[in-house]
């Protein structure tokens, strides 16, 4: 099984899309957010000279869902997701479109392709000749997420970022730590295909855990019990987190997420 990683541009949050060459065609896992990045994925798909067989969404954030419409180009192919991922994807679709369309008026897809095949925790699904086991791991970085495991390969979405500063704007850092503890035994010995950054082994989970603990500690100290940080404190936070992961991508997310985590800790 060959797996090709396509990385979106900076406007698309450097998200990873994976093209998995299965016996009956290519499975696109986590298509990117913007139409321009989706066209790049489609170009790579055409180079593989195999038919598009299916999409898989690991979680409902737009930078891992939206590009399916552009990639499929009107063809009907199955789209797999957990029922929870599909529900959240539909709930956030209009608010996300209202937010992003003014920023990327011609690049944000006008229509979202939602799941056509819903799965549940523990399901074993045959997709284009590959067998995936689905593990619903609940809320963490996102309101819901799932692991899609085939053989020794696991597509884990945003359960862990690989040396890229994570999105903590939804204020669930404690829940995210619990989610990783739940997922860790399911991923032992496997190669992890993450939503942002280079794939790697289970050590990525420990690196992400250390980062989250460091972020929570820094925000707690800088907030001093308050539910928000001032601009000077956010700059100090950015410096502290750069020391944890020097030169990591998506540095803008560090101060952006600070108030959400401060409010989480204050509560």
Q: Compute how many other C-beta atoms are within 10 angstroms of the C-beta atom of residue 75.
A: 8
What confidence tens digit (pLDDT) does each residue in 152-177 have? 999 999 999 999 999 999 999 999 99
Q: Residue 153 falls within a domain, yes or no? A: yes
Q: Residue 149 falls within a domain, yes or no? A: yes
How many domains does the chain contain in total?
A: 1
Q: Convert 200-221 to b/e letters by CB count within 10 Å (16 or more is b).
A: bebebbebbbebbeebbebbee
Residue 1 has a pLDDT of 81
Neighbouring-strand partners of residue 146: 136
Q: Residue 129 falls within a domain, yes or no? A: yes
- Residue-range definition of the domain harbouring residue 68: 2-158
Q: Residue 61 falls within a domain, yes or no? A: yes
Is 172 within 8 Å of 216 (Cβ atoms)? no
What confidence tens digit (pLDDT) does each residue in 51-104 have? 999 999 999 999 999 999 999 998 899 999 999 999 999 999 999 999 999 999
Q: Residue 206 falls within a domain, yes or no? A: no
Q: At what angle do helices 258-266 and 203-223 cross, to 10 degrees?
A: 80
CATH number of the domain at 7, please. 3.60.15.30
The rounded distance, in Å, linking the Cα atoms of 255 and 11 is 17
With CA atoms as reference, report the closest residue to 57 among 127, 122, 151.
Answer: 127
The rounded distance, in Å, linking the Cα atoms of 184 and 182 is 6
Claim: this prediction has a pTM higher than 0.95: yes
Measured CA to CA in angstroms, residue 210 lies from 58, 68, 206 at distances of 23, 33, 6
Q: Residue 195 falls within a domain, yes or no? A: no
Residue 18 has a pLDDT of 98
Q: Residue 7 falls within a domain, yes or no? A: yes
Q: Residue 189 falls within a domain, yes or no? A: no
């Amino acid at each position: 099984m060959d797996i090709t990683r396509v990385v979106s541009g900076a406007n698309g949050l450097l998200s990873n899309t994976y093209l998995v060459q299965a016996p009956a065609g290519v499975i696109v896992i986590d298509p990117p957010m913007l139409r321009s990045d989706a066209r790049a994925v489609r170009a790579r798909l055409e180079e593989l000279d195999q038919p598009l067989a299916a999409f898989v969404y690991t979680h409902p954030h737009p930078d891992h869902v939206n590009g399916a419409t552009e990639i499929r180009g009107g063809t009907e192919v199955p789209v797999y997701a957990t029922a929870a991922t599909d529900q959240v994807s539909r709930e956030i679709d209009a608010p996300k479109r209202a937010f992003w369309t003014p920023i990327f008026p011609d690049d944000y897809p006008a229509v979202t392709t939602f799941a056509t095949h819903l799965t549940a925790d523990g399901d074993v699904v045959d997709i284009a000749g590959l067998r995936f086991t689905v593990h619903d791991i609940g809320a963490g970085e996102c309101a819901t997420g799932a692991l899609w495991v085939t053989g020794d390969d696991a597509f884990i979405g945003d359960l862990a970022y690989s040396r890229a500063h994570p999105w903590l704007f939804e204020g669930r850092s404690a829940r995210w730590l619990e989610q990783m503890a739940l997922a860790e035994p399911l991923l032992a010995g496997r190669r992890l295909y993450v939503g942002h950054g280079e794939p790697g082994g289970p050590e990525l989970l420990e690196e992400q855990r250390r980062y989250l603990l460091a972020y929570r500690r820094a925000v707690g100290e800088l907030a001093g019990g308050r539910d928000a940080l001032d601009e000077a404190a956010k700059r100090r936070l950015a410096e502290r987190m750069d020391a944890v992961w020097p030169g990591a991508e998506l540095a803008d997310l560090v101060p952006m997420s600070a108030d959400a985590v401060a409010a989480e800790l204050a509560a």
